Structure 1
Amino acid sequence: MVDWSGGNDTGPRPCKDAIWICVVRNGRAESPVYLRNRVLAEEWLANLITGEQHARRRLCIGFDFPFGYPVGFARALAGTDDPLVVWDWFEAHIQDSPKANNRFDLAGEINQRFGGQGPFWTNALKHDIAGLPRTKATYQNPFPDRRAVEHLAKGSFTCWQLAGAGAVGSQVMMGMAVLARLRRRFADQIAVWPFQPLEKPVAFVEIWPSSTVGPAPEGMIKDAWQVQQVALGLARRPAAKLTMQLDIEAPEEGWILGIEQENRTISPPPLRNDCFALPAGIAWTPVDEALDLLRQRLNPVTGEDRQAVVKSMGRVLAEDVVARRSNPPHPNTAVDGYGFAGAFPDGEHVLPLVSGRAAAGAPFDGQVPKGSAIRILTGAVLPQGVDTVILQEDVTAQSDRIAFRGPLKAGANTRKAGEDIVGGDTALKAGRVLTPADLALLSAIGVSEVAVRKPLRVAVISTGDELIEPGAEPALGQIFDANRPMLLAMVDRFGFTPIDMGCVADDREALRAALDQAAQKADVILTSGGASAGDEDHVSSLLTDAGAMQRWRIAVKPGRPLALGMWKNVPVFGLPGNPVAALVCTLVFARPAMKVLAGSEWREPQGYNLPAAFSKRKKPGRREYLRARLRDGQVEAFASEGSGRISGLSWAEGLVELEDGARDIQPGDPVRFIPYDSFGL
């Protein structure tokens, strides 16, 4: 990564406003290189490209200046929209040496082609230049002031400004000329993004370090720090994220790598239509095998966006988050007290006090001499000459000295820089659902915005002629729909977005229309009822007709039939119509599957082995789940196992999971109790 300069030679001593380059190989950064002028930098880059080609390594080089001008300028200047022709134009017209160049004069000549007052502005030389305004006061621009990407990159500067704080206009002119020569020198070996496919051994990309890198550590030049951190960040960027960020349409103006393009969001590939297919010969599927198959075959189906950290609670991270700075950023004190250097043996000690103090946010500006102490408050950066702090309660203090007893170890009551997390390390991994504690961590390491998954949208449909809405007057044989309110609430508690698609009668065309609408609105569809093989089981029938239906006969009670399929590339979970079975199948199968579809991690519910307060004999062959609750350290089971007893779901606080084998449970025997909380309810 290269921090460029459009000015003259800055001398042999490393300084800001020169050229800084950092190379990262295999995730490790070399020391930043200082180059005092463009002649040296061009030759250094040429040697780098030659060396990497001889080593048969691919090379990405980022430069911190725009690769193109706002739309219309290229054609007006060079007669074509091709920005690389503009590079060649500047290479032919720029006169550059370490001590002088003609960039201001050339800008004035260009301006005179367009009326004499723009697009370039700021003459920093002592003499006037025809056509080049000294300030923006008389500036008139026949072209857009900014590129499209600069409207998104808050704080970026226009490429028309040639001098002054933050100006990049001179860098563009001088940089384009150098890059044009490098492209000619390494013909057919360099691809320029986003103008060309990255199919060459060397890639040139545009970067903007200030958008991603925090303040430099004390004593390090900002530009050197920034190129190092940008190089490390790019080297560690997940492949999927980098692929998304390279998928940019900006054929004339160019683009800054890492800035999201408006209205261009990445979507993961759809699930294969056969992702639910069972291996040949499988009839009854054990619960653990069914869960393993789901875990292996599912992938995220949600797109990505960026969210401010303060608004990201409950969202799923779409990429790893790297600490922008260490926490703590500097060595500091953990207590109120007095600071000094070194350890002290057993016995009495008296130290003189220096004037002043160190406090959080108000560091001491000076050095504490050896053998002296300073007043220091919790959180304060340790002054120079201080590495140990003694509690104020252990000190007798006067205006000019303190007395205390040893022993005291060196480093006592202090915190090292980065002892929590080191800048550049991964703080949180992709797939994590962000918690309030995570928001504190992200803020502490300087992260203000994160890439997150869009919330998973889950459509819920109830099916059956017998169902009516609560509050309606039931006819003979009709019942109120209990599943849909329950499932919508469960979806919401899981952190997803519920979409109520209503209740659909046992009519194929009505159900087909409902599934069509749900597929347009949602990422996942949950249906209840119609998942078996009866005459009115239209969910199974329609999914079968679509060529994407699998009826998993799972060895589980309650539940068993679970229809899994695809409707217009949207996964469908066909749940049993019985409310108890619908809840159990949702918790055991649909919940972890939807977590993966949402971009999160597959997570088993946390269960606890606790003594039973009930008796139960169970035959081998299938997994059973009992409605249960915890009282006085023992697990009570609901009196009836009837799957129509909805009151048992409300009575319960979780489920007892009974393994596939036979059990003869007596009071006091251990059973696995899984609280509803462990399922996310």
Structure 2
Amino acid sequence: MVLAGGQGSRMGGQDKGLLVFNGRPLIEHLLEALQPQTDALLINANRNHARYQTYGYPVISDAQNTAGNAYLGPLAGIAAALQAATTPYILTVPCDAPHIAPDMAVRLWQALQRDGAELAVAHDGERLQPIHALIPVTLLPSLQAFLAGGDRKTDLWYSQHRVAQADFSDCREMFRNINTPEQQQALAQTLPPLPLRVLGVSAWSGSGKTTLLAALIPHLKQAGLRLTVIKHGHHHIELDTPGKDTYRFREAGADQVLLASRKRMAMMQECKTQREPELADVLRFINPDCADLVLVEGFKHTAIPKIEVHRPSLGKPLLFPDDPTVIALASDDLSLAVPAHIAKFDLNQPQALAAFIVGWLQQKKTPAATHLPKHLSMTEARTRILNRVQPLTAALKLPLRDALGQVLAEAVISPHNVPNYTNSAMDGYALRGVDLPTDTPREYRVIGKAFAGGAFAGECGAGECVRIMTGAAMPAGTDTVVMQEQVTAGADGCVRIATGQQARQNVRLAGEDIAQGSSVLPAGRRITPADLGVLASLGINEVSVTRPLRVAFFSTGNELRSLGETLEAGQVYDSNRYTLYGLLKQLNVDIFDMGVVRDDPATLEATLLQASDIADVVLTSGGVSVGEADHIKGILAKLGQIHFWKIAIKPGRPLAFGTVGKAQFFGLPGNPVAVMVTFLQFVQPALLKMAGATANEPLLLDAVCLSSLKKQPGRTEFQRGFVRQEGGRLVVDKTGYQGSGALSSMSRGNGFIILPEERGNVQPGDVVQVQLFGW
């Protein structure tokens, strides 16, 4: 479904679907690209219906459209398409982005299946592209209700559902749209036809880039590939010489000269700008018929997948530690250590590297798109985790005393009223409310006593009262209690009660606290000490709870030693396992402490397999960064799947999340504070959801910061502080050195100072948000 129902206000009111691009209306480019991917096509338009109908496809207007409000936004068009669709899903695209990947539908469908989500949305590597989506028609009632409430924002509606993100970072030009005449002109000038598969070859000068390319080309041609090679030169380029016809034409002032024969064609174009050309400038000249693969020598700083050529003898540093787009390394020294997501090849064996390139091309997505570490925002990372993990369904009965901290598998319904009889809330005298004194004090005859557990047997009449204790059943005929402090002695056997009393005061009615048949505690509630008392008051001696989660964890590192062992130079005691044990113990999960595992791939692999067999969740600390001995990511890619492993937070950036066997996997950093931060912000919410607990957002409070804090925008930071009340307001101080290895800063503190991505330095007196530990 092509969304062409917009107003086009920034284009002077023009219908953008009918704008001419490369000689044809935009709608024609899109219909041509979508037709092979779909079973049927729809056009959403609110004007020019007759023009759109000439393409032979149904044209529909916005849902809930009115004469006075003709443009209701993309969600109204999507709702109309969901109503008109004859297929289970609709694929949505905007009318003003003329290029569509030929496997767009496949990528979105695969993301939907992978995540078990309700709908799938394209992601360009930096942000969601919400109008490029795959949506089931079963969501129509939800969308109609959303629109009926007056909402129009696409991302707000998406947030109500489980959304899978499909990676389109390798063809980001697909999301370049036309909103202004300037953008229309710029897009026509610079955008190459999609899709071009581009692979760079990067190296320091003298490393042998050209030699490697010349050796690769015959092997790639033998594999049946059509090849285009781009060579980036920084100096003057002269291809023809004086006396040649082409030279004379250029000297005479021709801007472009083409030389054509039956064997080959050549083109030379004079550059009118002094700036260095960018790769996008060159790609627009590519003939797609000659380009199953575009090999690029140069443009080292352009964000395309690259093969790095490296000769240690040149004394130059490796590029890949600072260039995350490198997917393979070709070197004459195979002892070089590389991360697991980078393939390594002998520079003198081009056939093996060519086979790798062919395999890379055959994938639906490039390894760069699959493996490039992306720094997710804190919110996005937590959302992805919580969308993927699912609650356990197994339940068991536990005695009431053993249920503390467990999660209720089903709601508790009250079998009777609490209190189960009407009783006194005070020590005093029970009487009829209609018999209370009005103008002057009055004496009442005391006819008996009522105690908790010992009801008064008679009936109280006019001018009479009953001495009553807290919790005693109200005597027959009474509905009011006057507390004993407001009663004085009268004649023998009588008491005097002054005016100012209220009928039915100081009485607790049957069912006032809990009514019979009402829901007392909902499913998903973690049982508190107060809940134990409430359940006991109902006479309930056992409850149904979700089976406790099984969590296995271990630390990695050759430098770690367990308590009781002697430390040698370069060794430290393993503190992370004890921290994790304490954090897990508070959640009432079944704990499997698997000790310290050395940095040996075979041992790590065996331990991960063992842990995934016995646990629902596997936690590790250490081994998920980019060091030579950080093996966890590579092993996990072999045994399971990594969903992401870098988050824009400090401390705790290298957090790996994925699956191993049947278990969810969290690879926590090695630094002690980073372990606690990532556990509390990401792991704990996931464990609570898996345990069936109702989700609760952390409680954030405003406090005045008394310390000066350094902070760079671009990531969320968790600094440790001590929060207290001072002068009627909350204040917070940082707890000393804030390094990610300084666990004492957590021990001395009672909460996090949370500094969001966009925030910079904090000065004393600034207001910050704090999150208290345990809240």
What's the TM-score bracket when you normalise by the shorter of the two chains? 0.5 to 0.7
The equivalent of 1:528 in structure 2 is 621
Q: Secondary structure at the match of 1:438?
A: helix
The equivalent of 2:544 in structure 1 is 451
Asked if 1 retains the 8 angstrom alpha-carbon contact of 2:405 and 2:587, the reply is: no
The equivalent of 2:454 in structure 1 is 362
| Structure 2: distance between partners of 1:290 and 1:377 | 58
For 1:375-386, list aligned pairs within 5 A: 375-386=467-478
The equivalent of 1:506 in structure 2 is 599
Pairing partner for 1:661 from 735, 758, 762: 758
Q: Which consecutive unaligned segments of at least 5 residues does structure 2 have? A: 1-112, 118-163, 170-373
The equivalent of 1:388 in structure 2 is 480
For 1:458-607, list aligned pairs within 5 A: 458-607=551-700
| Structure 1: distance between partners of 2:652 and 2:634 | 19
Cα deviation, residue 381, structure 1: 1.1
Higher mean displacement: 334-343 or 529-538 = 529-538
The equivalent of 2:130 in structure 1 is none
| Structure 1: distance between partners of 2:482 and 2:554 | 66
| Structure 2: distance between partners of 1:533 and 1:273 | 27
The equivalent of 2:497 in structure 1 is 404
Cα deviation, residue 533, structure 1: 4.8
The equivalent of 2:705 in structure 1 is 612
| Structure 1: distance between partners of 2:717 and 2:510 | 52
The equivalent of 1:648 in structure 2 is 745
Cα deviation, residue 394, structure 1: 2.4
Q: Secondary structure at the match of 1:664?
A: coil
Cα deviation, residue 585, structure 1: 0.7
| Structure 1: distance between partners of 2:746 and 2:534 | 38
Paired letter, 1:622: R
Structure-1-length-normalised TM-score: 0.56
CA RMSD of superposed structures (Å) = 2.4
Aligned pair 1:329/2:420, yes or no?
Answer: yes
Q: How many residues align?
A: 406
The equivalent of 1:286 in structure 2 is 377
Structure-2-length-normalised TM-score: 0.50
Paired letter, 2:690: L
The equivalent of 2:343 in structure 1 is none
Cα deviation, residue 458, structure 1: 1.7
Cα deviation, residue 274, structure 1: 4.3
| Structure 1: distance between partners of 2:490 and 2:415 | 40
Asked if 2 retains the 8 angstrom alpha-carbon contact of 1:656 and 1:672, the reply is: yes
Cα deviation, residue 307, structure 1: 1.6
Q: Cα gap change, 1:429/1:399 in structure 2, threshold over 3 Å: closer, same or farther? A: farther
Q: Cα gap change, 1:376/1:607 in structure 2, threshold over 3 Å: closer, same or farther? A: same
Paired letter, 1:386: T
Asked if 2 retains the 8 angstrom alpha-carbon contact of 1:423 and 1:445, the reply is: no
The equivalent of 2:188 in structure 1 is none
For 1:208-223, list aligned pairs within 5 A: none
Cα deviation, residue 346, structure 1: 2.9
| Structure 2: distance between partners of 1:605 and 1:427 | 24
Higher mean displacement: 419-428 or 629-638 = 629-638
Q: Cα gap change, 1:406/1:554 in structure 2, threshold over 3 Å: closer, same or farther? A: same
Paired letter, 2:383: D
The equivalent of 1:206 in structure 2 is none
State the Cα deviation string for residues 589-640 of structure 1 (Å, max 9, x = none).
1111111112212223323222212212423211011122236743222443
Cα deviation, residue 514, structure 1: 1.2
The equivalent of 1:295 in structure 2 is 386
| Structure 1: distance between partners of 2:439 and 2:402 | 53
| Structure 2: distance between partners of 1:573 and 1:586 | 9
Q: Cα gap change, 1:582/1:357 in structure 2, threshold over 3 Å: closer, same or farther? A: same
| Structure 2: distance between partners of 1:347 and 1:281 | 86
| Structure 2: distance between partners of 1:428 and 1:479 | 47
Q: Cα gap change, 1:342/1:359 in structure 2, threshold over 3 Å: closer, same or farther? A: same
Q: Cα gap change, 1:418/1:472 in structure 2, threshold over 3 Å: closer, same or farther? A: same
Q: Cα gap change, 1:359/1:552 in structure 2, threshold over 3 Å: closer, same or farther? A: same
The equivalent of 2:255 in structure 1 is none
The equivalent of 1:635 in structure 2 is 732
Q: Percent identity?
A: 38
Cα deviation, residue 415, structure 1: 1.2
Cα deviation, residue 526, structure 1: 0.7
Q: Secondary structure at the match of 2:655?
A: strand
Q: Cα gap change, 1:398/1:431 in structure 2, threshold over 3 Å: closer, same or farther? A: farther
Paired letter, 1:360: A
Pairing partner for 2:525 from 412, 432, 436: 432
The equivalent of 1:310 in structure 2 is 401
Q: Secondary structure at the match of 2:433?
A: coil
Q: Which consecutive unaligned segments of at least 5 residues does structure 1 have? A: 1-271
Cα deviation, residue 453, structure 1: 2.1
Paired letter, 2:747: S
Q: Cα gap change, 1:346/1:540 in structure 2, threshold over 3 Å: closer, same or farther? A: farther
Paired letter, 1:280: D
Cα deviation, residue 278, structure 1: 5.3
Paired letter, 2:649: V
Q: Cα gap change, 1:409/1:644 in structure 2, threshold over 3 Å: closer, same or farther? A: closer
Asked if 2 retains the 8 angstrom alpha-carbon contact of 1:302 and 1:456, the reply is: no
Cα deviation, residue 361, structure 1: 1.0
Asked if 1 retains the 8 angstrom alpha-carbon contact of 2:689 and 2:695, the reply is: yes
Asked if 1 retains the 8 angstrom alpha-carbon contact of 2:719 and 2:734, the reply is: yes
For 1:177-196, list aligned pairs within 5 A: none
Q: Cα gap change, 1:325/1:583 in structure 2, threshold over 3 Å: closer, same or farther? A: same
Asked if 2 retains the 8 angstrom alpha-carbon contact of 1:329 and 1:418, the reply is: yes
Q: Secondary structure at the match of 1:532?
A: coil
| Structure 1: distance between partners of 2:492 and 2:620 | 77
The equivalent of 1:672 in structure 2 is 769
The equivalent of 1:248 in structure 2 is none
Cα deviation, residue 451, structure 1: 0.8
Q: Secondary structure at the match of 2:385?
A: helix
State the Cα deviation string for residues 222-243 of structure 1 (Å, max 9, x = none).
xxxxxxxxxxxxxxxxxxxxxx
State the Cα deviation string for residues 70-115 of structure 1 (Å, max 9, x = none).
xxxxxxxxxxxxxxxxxxxxxxxxxxxxxxxxxxxxxxxxxxxxxx
Aligned pair 1:351/2:238, yes or no?
Answer: no
| Structure 1: distance between partners of 2:714 and 2:567 | 40
Cα deviation, residue 366, structure 1: 3.1
| Structure 2: distance between partners of 1:449 and 1:508 | 46
Asked if 2 retains the 8 angstrom alpha-carbon contact of 1:432 and 1:600, the reply is: yes
Q: Secondary structure at the match of 2:499?
A: strand
| Structure 1: distance between partners of 2:762 and 2:724 | 18
Q: Cα gap change, 1:391/1:653 in structure 2, threshold over 3 Å: closer, same or farther? A: closer
Q: Cα gap change, 1:406/1:647 in structure 2, threshold over 3 Å: closer, same or farther? A: closer
Cα deviation, residue 281, structure 1: 4.9
Paired letter, 2:751: G
Cα deviation, residue 645, structure 1: 2.9
Q: Secondary structure at the match of 1:663?
A: coil
Asked if 2 retains the 8 angstrom alpha-carbon contact of 1:550 and 1:565, the reply is: yes
**4+ residue runs over 4 A deviation:** 272-279
